Amino acid sequence: MQRATFGRRRTPTPLSLLRSTPLSATTSRRRFLTTALAAGACSTGLVACSDGTPPNSSAVPGGTDSRPAGGSNPPTAVPVTTGRQALDRLLAGNARFVAEREERLDEGVARRVAVSKGQHPFATVLGCVDSRVPIELVFDQGLGDLVVVRSAGEALDHSVTGSLEFGVAELHTPLLVVLGHQRCGALDATIKAVDAKQRTAEAGQIGYLVETLAPAVRQVAGQPGDRLTNAIHANVDMVLGKLRQSPVIGPLERAGKVELVGAYYELDTGKVIVS
């Protein structure tokens, strides 16, 4: 199960985190997250905006906020209501990136002002920390378009999983992508650690990362083909499996509210290939 991969490190539970805050004991975790994470969360309807704007009010000054996820994006963009539409939009952006015809529609002053009071991202993406895989650039998306969570080798822990849950449950993105990538250094290092049968943890928390990623390396042992590439794909599949066990994400997927997709980014070509 997901928590079994967290290794020996003891991570504070959400409740203990709440106790360390000045919030009242009756404050729910959801309320805490919604209040603390983003001013844009006011648009989720759970809290009033910090500027006094009531919940569910317009995200665009002067506009009527009845649009679905992705609907506040540039007028030229097709509104996104389904995971399929969100994926099409991501892949269209990646095609622009590959062809070096990036539009950067969402980075201007007008866009910044438009999303300053609320956000309607159309996809949540978990990717690696690799400096060569900047998520918004790879998909040619801009301000307010994506909820991006990054960790080495897409390793899951409480914070990563919670952030992804926030993206799909509170910001209502209809798509959750787990993006692995070619020549992932985190998985390459894990292969070396597994081969060396390292029993002692690396310095800091790197050993924790290796422990978390090691099951994917072990799963592909003896398989034909490139070992690292196999491990990268296996890791994406395992991360998706763990996310489906989330009591937040799993039910949303089964209800058709969010689509979970695995993908692979090729460093050589810039292409994102959906699993």
Q: Tell me the closest approach of the beta carbon of residue 152 to Zn ion, in angstroms.
A: 6
Q: What gap in Å lies between CA 229 and CA 118, rounded to an integer?
A: 39
Q: Tell me the closest approach of the beta carbon of residue 186 to Zn ion, in angstroms.
A: 5
- Full 3-state SS string of 190-255: HHHHHHCCCCCCCCCCHHHHHHHHHHHHHHCCCCCCCHHHHHHHHHHHHHHHHHHCCCCHHHHHHC
Q: Tell me the closest approach of the beta carbon of residue 69 to Zn ion, in angstroms.
A: 27
The pair of three-digit structure tokens given for residue 193, joined into one six-digit string: 């650690």
b (16+ CB within 10 A) / e for 3-24:
eebebeeeeeeeeeebeeeeee
Strands 272-274 and 175-181: unpaired
* Residue 76 neighbours by CB under 8 Å, 6+ apart: 105
SS3 assignment, position 179 = strand
Tell me: is residue 42 an annotated ligand-binding position. Answer: no
**130/253 with CB nearer Zn ion:** 130
**186/263 with CB nearer Zn ion:** 186
Tell me: is residue 181 an annotated ligand-binding position. Answer: yes
Q: Tell me the closest approach of the beta carbon of residue 4 to Zn ion, in angstroms.
A: 23
**106/130 with CB nearer Zn ion:** 130
**37/206 with CB nearer Zn ion:** 206
Tell me: is residue 49 an annotated ligand-binding position. Answer: no
Helix (H), strand (E) at residue 14:
helix 14-19
Q: Tell me the closest approach of the beta carbon of residue 183 to Zn ion, in angstroms.
A: 8
**87/128 with CB nearer Zn ion:** 128
SS3 assignment, position 59 = coil
Q: Tell me the closest approach of the beta carbon of residue 180 to Zn ion, in angstroms.
A: 7
The pair of three-digit structure tokens given for residue 272, joined into one six-digit string: 């994102």
Tell me: is residue 130 an annotated ligand-binding position. Answer: yes
**128/160 with CB nearer Zn ion:** 128
* Residue 67 neighbours by CB under 8 Å, 6+ apart: 79, 120
Chain residues in the site for Zn ion (CB under 5 A): 128, 130, 184, 186
Q: What gap in Å lies between CA 167 and CA 226, rounded to an integer?
A: 33
Which residues make up each annotated binding site for Zn(2+)?
Answer: 128, 130, 181, 184
Tell me the binding residues: 128, 130, 181, 184
